[in-house]
A and B are shown apart, each in its own frame.
Chain A
């Protein structure tokens, strides 16, 4: 009997694996081509007659352009054109709109406003010729004072960077507030204790392995514009191209092929795309533009660069009763943040985090500086990373001031599991959560109490060890469309599903994978909902001619929005299948049952028609009055966002002599709701924890006083390798999203959002007994050394 049960269980498990539905760690369908070097990226596109473009960039951070000389470059055989801003201005293309409603120079005409700004483009028969000629384009500059911090920018009398903008008399971009000031003031007035933190989240860069680029192919005969482009949002980009370049939208086809990472870097439209497209139009030949590493690091969308200070008001019982935060954002020379239109500081107002704080007030100001524009959400849902970092660092400070274990402070202030849906003081409605639950799993995995004992023993011997805690809550999956849009386009997403007569399906999506494994994950949703094996579901994305309109992949929105659309469209087909099944069974539709890809009449579970039978009938034996085919499309506008969360714990040891920090342990417990492909989820978390580690300890785009970018290549901009990256220990809890069709929340960004504070809190935990309360990222060994020496600690 026991054997039979085991055999039945084994058979059932084999069937589950073969179907590849939700919860199966299916090997990624796309990986075979990637690991064999057979992916097809933009730079693999080679078209007949294709020209190559190289951008001439400004060596100055701020300078007036007195003249551009291109005759020496034009004299080189093989050079076809040198495009300048003056030429673009004749076609009204010298400036373009940004995603934040500002304008950005495509090629500089009046001034350059950051080092690396696009000044001219050389177009030639080969890349070598274009590179040689680019060196011969000379530009006369009159250098101006460079502004490299937002504090300098907003100081009275600062030179105005955007002097071309009508009515712009200073370097301020926006002022934005969220929450309730009066209620927050009242909370602080009755606080027993106020704990404050001032911190800086430095500028870093998404640095996808594949840089940005495009091949623009404007057919002079048909007028069709085909643009192969590194785009996380091809449909939105097509609409913006129509608006910017005045091209008819139906003639534009954006194809975003395989992408070698994006992380937010491939959300904006960059000048290179626009010039290559304009050049192809004017010359009548395809034009390829591919960034090199330095191009990518110095000119494309950076992230963060946020100065944050704030306080938490605490009552006599140790409960948080109010939160104040002030932000000063360095947006660079053009306000080009990628974010929902209504929110100047993105979704930063998630800053109350996992805590029940009844009153909160956030004040945000943005400033122009002579630095590259961007402010993209680097593996982040629009400034959620900064918010999560701030609150988790502030709670660490509160614990130190209260003389509490940081776990206690958190447990005392968490939003409780029964409080969901929870309305936050800054305006979000959290869908679901169990913060103490995730915390408990993490503490048990780490062996927290034992490590605290070890820490006390080490401290007695003068050794430095720290345990960092972070219990983040994210907000992802934008929109709903009424509240969240980008440049007016509402943040819904779409899925189109066609089941062919043989029962094999094609799923087309408005989102776009950059390596997240969409071809597998979304096929698994179809497998779960329709009972068609995931191996029989082909997922297509990235070609605007062949996929339904969607807003794209960023802000962890593919599963919350595109995944929901997939489930909904699959259910539509399932319902149509019932009508066909009723016809085949000669039964009433109301009596048809469906489970795991099989239809039967109630009471006759053994007489089934499979989804494959139904699909064949949809094309061969359809009942009268019913449209043939088994195909549908869904545009899904989510009712709310989703709120993934988790607890991350980090153990560090610090070398007193050198200031080096060694991460000994990293435990990450994530709750992203239902996990569709657990292996892919874990891969996403590993990637995010690695990027968080890099941000916490090494990644930095910085500038000298003249505005020269330091961090313009991978020798200076450090990203972690497997060698220094800690070993990750992953755990999970599952609290489904109540409003998502399959209960999934999105996981792409949780680890990047949640982990930096855990790493930093671990360092501070090792040092707080010395009176060290903050070290800004990246926590390099020299900063730790300086903090130690300032407290008289030496080897």
Chain B
């Protein structure tokens, strides 16, 4: 690896990180797990003046339940989500998505918050966060903001995060009701980014109808996409094949794919439809089997 020269600092406290970010602004890059930043440095696609490593800051890791939320420290490794088996039945989609992220080496190093903030349109966590209605806690020297996932992803590698901010936590609301979810991903080989992926999360009401449905799409647009029309058509409905098919069709329409080496726009749109259809069936079956 022969990157352009850069300064490197690894502060031990969050305050110091925030102070450095406010001082250097766009010249600084935050290093968490490094699984995206290091390749960019290696290829000299990124040439920051200073790299701020947050690896020594305490309190940024872990998955826990608190006050009706699942709270995930931003620097939690993909692997730690993969092994958080007590999320089964509550947030199936996280447990299904985590093992599909790249390969074990990358999952051991890469972080959830790092991936969300990197905002690769083909990154897996963006679609998942949209499906489960996550909120992101971000901090700067000036204070704290809580940003909903919906609206956070603005474009390729572009988010609502300011250059002086660092994400500290992801909060996912988990309410009453039986829930189920899943994540389906088309990849060309293990370790590949998604060609198309879909995250589905469904909560059933006491009457067996769909209370809420969350659908996030990956790699079919300039950023992760929340399929809101498909979500809306499901809300309050009996989970019939016809309703599911209609939602899947709408999700396909919500996709804005571009043709590339992985396939035509029509192909990706159709796979998004197929995945949402399959995903909804799985999610609903799981929710119906889950204890209230």
B261 interfacial contact with A, CB 8 Å: yes
Q: A135-B44, A657-B274, A702-B261 are in contact. Are A718 and B188 (CB under 8 A)?
A: yes
Q: Which B259-278 residues sit within 8 Å CB-CB of chain A?
A: 261-264, 267, 270-271, 274-275, 277-278
Q: Which one of A488-496, A604-612, A640-648, A780-788 is at the B interface?
A: A780-788
Residue of B nearest to A292 (CB): B2
B241 interfacial contact with A, CB 8 Å: no
| Residues in chain B near residue A718, CB distance under 8 A | 188-189, 192
Main SS at interface, chain B: loop
| Residues in chain B near residue A131, CB distance under 8 A | 2
**Taking the nearest CB of chain A, how far is it from the CB of B197, in angstroms?**
11
Binary contact track A707-719/B, C-beta < 8 Å → 1, others 0: 0001001011011
Docked pose: A719 CA to B188 CA in angstroms? 10
Q: Is A127's CB under 8 angstroms from B2's CB? A: yes
Sorting the interface of chain A by its residue count into under 10, 10 to 19, 20 to 34 or 35 or more gives 20 to 34
Q: Is A716's CB under 8 angstroms from B261's CB? A: yes
| Residues in chain A near residue B190, CB distance under 8 A | 721, 723-724
Binary contact track A109-145/B, C-beta < 8 Å → 1, others 0: 0000000000000000001100110010000000000
A326 interfacial contact with B, CB 8 Å: no
Q: Which A636-670 residues sit within 8 Å CB-CB of chain B?
A: 657-660
Docked pose: A724 CA to B187 CA in angstroms? 11
Q: A132-B4, A658-B271, A658-B274 are in contact. Are A781 and B261 (CB under 8 A)?
A: no
Residue of B nearest to A724 (CB): B189
| Residues in chain B near residue A418, CB distance under 8 A | none
| Residues in chain B near residue A395, CB distance under 8 A | none
**Taking the nearest CB of chain A, how far is it from the CB of B282, in angstroms?**
14
B186 interfacial contact with A, CB 8 Å: yes
| Residues in chain B near residue A127, CB distance under 8 A | 2
| Residues in chain B near residue A659, CB distance under 8 A | 267
| Residues in chain B near residue A710, CB distance under 8 A | 261
Residue of A nearest to B184 (CB): A658
| Residues in chain B near residue A780, CB distance under 8 A | 188, 262-263
A358 interfacial contact with B, CB 8 Å: no
Binary contact track B19-55/A, C-beta < 8 Å → 1, others 0: 0000000000000000000000001100000000000
| Residues in chain A near residue B192, CB distance under 8 A | 715, 718
A56 interfacial contact with B, CB 8 Å: no
Q: Is B274's CB under 8 angstroms from A786's CB? A: no
| Residues in chain A near residue B68, CB distance under 8 A | none
Q: Is B267's CB under 8 angstroms from A782's CB? A: yes
Q: Is A128's CB under 8 angstroms from B191's CB? A: no
Docked pose: A135 CA to B44 CA in angstroms? 10
Main SS at interface, chain A: loop
Docked pose: A720 CA to B189 CA in angstroms? 7
| Residues in chain B near residue A795, CB distance under 8 A | 274, 277
Q: Is A781's CB under 8 angstroms from B186's CB? A: yes
**Taking the nearest CB of chain A, how far is it from the CB of B92, in angstroms?**
21
Q: A710-B261, A780-B263 are in contact. Are A785 and B188 (CB under 8 A)?
A: no
Docked pose: A718 CA to B195 CA in angstroms? 13
Q: Is B261's CB under 8 angstroms from A657's CB? A: no
Set B2, B4, B189, B262: member contacting A782, Cβ < 8 A = B262
Q: A716-B261, A786-B264 are in contact. Are A128 and B188 (CB under 8 A)?
A: no
| Residues in chain A near residue B191, CB distance under 8 A | 721
Docked pose: A453 CA to B157 CA in angstroms? 51
Docked pose: A710 CA to B271 CA in angstroms? 23
**Taking the nearest CB of chain A, how far is it from the CB of B145, in angstroms?**
33
Q: Is B267's CB under 8 angstroms from A786's CB? A: yes
Q: Which B238-288 residues sit within 8 Å CB-CB of chain A?
A: 261-264, 267, 270-271, 274-275, 277-278
Binary contact track A761-795/B, C-beta < 8 Å → 1, others 0: 00000000000000000001110011001000011
A698 interfacial contact with B, CB 8 Å: yes
**Taking the nearest CB of chain A, how far is it from the CB of B122, in angstroms?**
11
Which has the most chain B C-beta neighbours within 10 Å: A718, A724, A781?
A781
Docked pose: A716 CA to B43 CA in angstroms? 14
**Taking the nearest CB of chain B, how far is it from the CB of A610, in angstroms?**
53
Set A132, A657, A702, A789: member contacting B278, Cβ < 8 A = A657
| Residues in chain A near residue B264, CB distance under 8 A | 782, 786
Q: A718-B189, A724-B189, A724-B190 are in contact. Are A782 and B278 (CB under 8 A)?
A: no
**Taking the nearest CB of chain B, how far is it from the CB of A481, in angstroms?**
43
**Taking the nearest CB of chain A, how far is it from the CB of B256, in angstroms?**
17
Docked pose: A383 CA to B291 CA in angstroms? 62
**Taking the nearest CB of chain B, how far is it from the CB of A228, in angstroms?**
21
Q: A658-B271, A785-B263, A785-B270 are in contact. Are A698 and B188 (CB under 8 A)?
A: yes
| Residues in chain A near residue B277, CB distance under 8 A | 795
Q: Is B274's CB under 8 angstroms from A781's CB? A: no
Q: Is B186's CB under 8 angstroms from A658's CB? A: yes
**Taking the nearest CB of chain B, how far is it from the CB of A640, in angstroms?**
41
**Taking the nearest CB of chain B, how far is it from the CB of A528, in angstroms?**
42
Docked pose: A51 CA to B4 CA in angstroms? 20
Docked pose: A170 CA to B7 CA in angstroms? 53
**Taking the nearest CB of chain A, how far is it from the CB of B189, in angstroms?**
5
| Residues in chain A near residue B4, CB distance under 8 A | 132, 135
**Taking the nearest CB of chain B, how far is it from the CB of A554, in angstroms?**
27
**Taking the nearest CB of chain B, how far is it from the CB of A132, in angstroms?**
7
Docked pose: A152 CA to B68 CA in angstroms? 64
Docked pose: A786 CA to B277 CA in angstroms? 20
Residue of B nearest to A54 (CB): B2
**Taking the nearest CB of chain A, how far is it from the CB of B20, in angstroms?**
25
Residue of B nearest to A785 (CB): B267
**Taking the nearest CB of chain A, how far is it from the CB of B6, in angstroms?**
12
**Taking the nearest CB of chain A, how far is it from the CB of B184, in angstroms?**
9
Docked pose: A789 CA to B264 CA in angstroms? 13
Residue of A nearest to B47 (CB): A135
Q: Is B189's CB under 8 angstroms from A657's CB? A: no
**Taking the nearest CB of chain A, how far is it from the CB of B269, in angstroms?**
11
| Residues in chain B near residue A724, CB distance under 8 A | 189-190
Docked pose: A588 CA to B192 CA in angstroms? 72
Docked pose: A570 CA to B95 CA in angstroms? 62
| Residues in chain A near residue B270, CB distance under 8 A | 785, 789, 794
Docked pose: A721 CA to B106 CA in angstroms? 15
Residue of B nearest to A710 (CB): B261
| Residues in chain A near residue B43, CB distance under 8 A | 713
Docked pose: A132 CA to B270 CA in angstroms? 45
| Residues in chain A near residue B193, CB distance under 8 A | 715
User: Which B residues have a C-beta under 8 Å from some C-beta of A?
Assistant: 2, 4-5, 43-44, 103, 186, 188-193, 195, 261-264, 267, 270-271, 274-275, 277-278
Q: Which 8 A-B pairs have the closest CB atoms?
A: A782-B263, A657-B274, A723-B190, A131-B2, A782-B267, A718-B189, A721-B190, A658-B271
Instruction: Enumerate 26 A-B pairs (CB-CB under 8 Å) in ascending A order.
Output: A132-B4, A135-B44, A657-B271, A657-B278, A658-B186, A658-B271, A658-B274, A658-B275, A698-B189, A700-B261, A710-B261, A715-B193, A718-B188, A719-B189, A720-B189, A721-B189, A780-B262, A781-B186, A781-B188, A781-B195, A782-B263, A782-B264, A782-B267, A786-B264, A786-B267, A794-B270
Q: A127-B2, A657-B278, A660-B186 are in contact. List 15 more A-B contacts (CB 8 A).
A: A128-B2, A132-B4, A135-B44, A659-B267, A700-B261, A715-B193, A718-B189, A718-B192, A719-B189, A721-B103, A721-B189, A721-B191, A723-B189, A781-B186, A794-B270
